């Protein structure tokens, strides 16, 4: 371990922003991949690990009486405030972190050196876990109206699209190629999602190169083919997700938006989601609010409002809801674009798919959705996440906003997602960590050139291994809910403390209901296993269980003394150590193994009844009838 250290500094303080506790004192280590801080003042060895790729900024603050402060802001919203005794040490750590956190070449990213001791075969299987063709087949494609084509196999149509795309069968190669010349960066209209219930489709593209009067016959034929692929509707929507003023400014530069006079039977609509620069500034203001030392309620709420962050989240959600309603209720196909079709378009199309299709609310489905709408379709993760030393104006929290929209939906529909908040946070962390190859580069071609599948590992198998701790205990199953219709009135949106303040110890409630429920359900599964084991042993017993009457009376007393933890005072002090079978050391009775398990089952029966009641209450809150 010690041979990996590039730098080691003793007597470094780590300040805690929200508690008045004495600052931790310990040793700071720099390795090739991580900053590691070991707290020497803690009774139990305590380590803080910060991945270099997670570091957004490193700042030297003015000298204090305690020493030389170094403030580190991370892309996953961790803030670490160190104080280093010697100026020379502080400067060395500062310059090292600047270099380590801003690699210049893609090959310097963590994913290319990360080695989890996995065989080549298993790594390849990991990359094949998500197959987008299977998802299109699930939608019923290919069919009479849509086909999967390899027209882009050499990236001749569009170098930021994948080799295989889904287009209307009626659009021949001449139409596809002609349309690509009239669309910004060649990003032609392609299928994003087909709603099998009525053949309405969500398609995506970039803005047309229309200027004030230009038109293109092939592009008009492409939109006509999309509309006619849904024979049940006489029209289709074309949605521009930009504010109208922004789109008009693009017109002056020879780009712009579709003229309804030139396209048959389209209904054009603006939905004003701001650009990447506005979003970057909004997040910066939000984080300033989150980092206020001891804000008043007025300061916090005013700062939150002035950041505009939740207003932007609402705008993205409103756009997703509009698309879903157009497809489901109006049975109309929708074509969506922004400027280049890889930021706002990705947000809105993936959100609408999530609202329409319960498959995307499962572990596997959510991975497919991200692969399909974000990775394959060329969201520029490398630029937006600042993976490499580049233009800071290209960085923007586009994917963060999508993840937050999903979390906001989880607050309104707590029983409809197979995964929990931690799953979203894990994905968000790894979009920035560069530990896995999925989010490197800007498009399919770039990842191909980097040989991502040969040289790095996929995130998805890693997450599926942790499925048990990432699952939502309230999930009602795939068929319980079909389409979601969220409320997007302002009062429906919450500040996501779990994302933006999750590393601040003093900011958290002491209990998380879902975590507790998850542990209860895990305990329930153990008890059910115990019960099955007991039932298998019953035929081999001769006569009654040993000291049966005595055991029952003892169990009754034990159950009354140990209720389920559900009040803050129940968490005070150290609980007795929990044994592997789920009982605590304080409850042990010297009886036979079978008798002991029999008593455990009985003593937990009341807890399970309480648990089931709790689930029923939460389901009723979510709009589902109670059941017993």
**Residues carrying an active site annotation:** 338
Half-sphere exposure of 382 (CA within 13 A, CB side): 20
DSSP secondary-structure letter at 63? P
According to DSSP, the residues that pair with 84 across neighbouring strands are: 12, 68
Do 334 and 241 contact (CB within 8 A), yes or no? Answer: no
Distance CA 397, CA 395 (A): 7
| CA-based nearest residue to 591, from 563, 539, 554, 560 | 554
Do 183 and 157 contact (CB within 8 A), yes or no? Answer: no
Query: Long-range contacts of range 144-149, CB-CB < 8 Å, 24 or more positions apart?
Result: 144/169, 145/169, 145/170, 145/199, 145/228, 145/229, 145/230, 146/191, 146/194, 146/201, 146/229, 149/176
127: tokens are 């990359």
Do 378 and 444 contact (CB within 8 A), yes or no? Answer: yes
Distance CA 498, CA 514 (A): 13
Distance CA 468, CA 458 (A): 19
DSSP secondary-structure letter at 77? S
SS3 299: helix
According to DSSP, the residues that pair with 208 across neighbouring strands are: 183
| CA-based nearest residue to 584, from 609, 606, 565, 610 | 565
Alpha-carbon 305 to chain mean position: 24
Q: 397 phi and psi, to 5 degrees? A: -85, 50
Q: How far apart are the first and last CA of the chain?
A: 55
């Amino acid at each position: 371990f010690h041979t990996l250290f590039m730098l080691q500094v003793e007597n470094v303080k780590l300040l805690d922003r929200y508690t008045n506790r004495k600052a931790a004192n310990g040793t700071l280590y720099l390795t090739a991949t991580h900053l590691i801080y070991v707290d020497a003042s803690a009774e139990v060895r305590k380590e803080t690990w910060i991945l270099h790729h997670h570091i957004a900024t490193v700042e030297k603050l003015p000298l204090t009486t305690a020493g030389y402060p170094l403030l580190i802001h991370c892309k996953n919203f961790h803030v670490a405030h160190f104080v280093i005794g010697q100026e020379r040490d502080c400067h060395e750590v500062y310059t090292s972190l600047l270099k380590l956190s801003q690699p210049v070449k893609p090959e310097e990213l963590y994913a290319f050196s990360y080695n989890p001791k996995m065989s080549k075969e298993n790594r390849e299987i990991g990359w094949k876990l998500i197959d987008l063709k299977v998802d299109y087949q699930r939608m019923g494609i290919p069919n009479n109206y849509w086909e999967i084509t390899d027209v882009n196999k050499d990236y001749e149509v569009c170098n930021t699209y994948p080799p295989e795309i889904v287009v209307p069968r009626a659009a021949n190669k001449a139409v596809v190629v002609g349309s690509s010349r009239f669309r910004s960066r060649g990003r032609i209209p392609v299928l994003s999602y087909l709603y099998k219930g009525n053949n309405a489709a969500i398609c995506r593209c970039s803005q047309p190169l229309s200027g004030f009067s230009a038109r293109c016959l092939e592009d008009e034929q492409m939109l006509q083919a999309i509309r006619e692929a849904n024979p049940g509707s006489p029209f289709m929507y074309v949605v521009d997700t930009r504010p109208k003023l922004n789109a008009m400014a693009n017109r002056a530069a020879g780009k712009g938006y579709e003229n309804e006079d030139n396209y048959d039977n389209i209904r054009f609509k603006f939905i004003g989601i701001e650009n990447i620069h506005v979003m970057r500034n909004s997040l910066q203001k939000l984080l300033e609010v989150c980092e206020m030392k001891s804000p008043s309620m007025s300061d916090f709420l005013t700062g939150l409002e002035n950041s505009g962050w939740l207003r932007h989240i609402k705008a993205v959600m409103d756009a997703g809801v509009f698309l879903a309603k157009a497809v489901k209720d109006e049975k109309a196909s929708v074509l969506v674009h922004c400027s280049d079709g890889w930021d706002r378009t990705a947000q809105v199309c993936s959100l609408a798919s999530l609202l329409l299709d319960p498959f995307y609310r499962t572990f596997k489905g959510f991975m497919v959705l991200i692969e399909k709408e974000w990775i394959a379709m060329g969201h520029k993760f490398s630029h937006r996440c600042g993976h490499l030393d580049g233009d800071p104006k290209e960085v923007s929290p586009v994917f963060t906003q999508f993840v937050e929209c999903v979390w906001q939906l989880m607050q309104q529909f707590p029983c409809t997602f197979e995964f929990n908040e931690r799953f979203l946070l894990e994905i968000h962390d790894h979009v920035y960590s560069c530990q896995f190859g999925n989010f490197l580069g800007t498009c399919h071609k770039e990842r191909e050139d980097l040989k991502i599948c040969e040289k790095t590992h996929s995130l998805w198998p890693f997450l599926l291994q942790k499925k048990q701790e990432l699952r939502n205990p309230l999930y009602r199953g795939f068929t319980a809910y079909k389409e979601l219709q969220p409320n997007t009135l302002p009062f429906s949106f919450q500040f996501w403390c779990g994302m933006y303040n999750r590393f601040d110890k003093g900011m958290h409630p002491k209990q998380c209901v879902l975590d507790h429920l998850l542990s209860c359900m895990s305990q329930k599964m153990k008890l059910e296993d115990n019960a099955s084991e007991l039932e298998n042993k019953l035929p081999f017993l001769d006569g009654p269980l040993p000291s049966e009457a005595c055991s029952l009376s003892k169990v009754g007393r034990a159950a009354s003394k140990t209720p389920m933890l559900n009040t803050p005072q129940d968490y005070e002090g150290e609980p007795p150590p929990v044994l592997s079978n789920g009982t605590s050391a304080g409850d042990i009775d010297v009886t036979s193994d079978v008798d002991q398990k029999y008593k455990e089952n009985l003593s937990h029966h009341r807890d399970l009844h309480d648990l089931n009641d709790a689930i029923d209450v939460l389901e009723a809150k979510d709009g589902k009838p109670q059941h017993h």
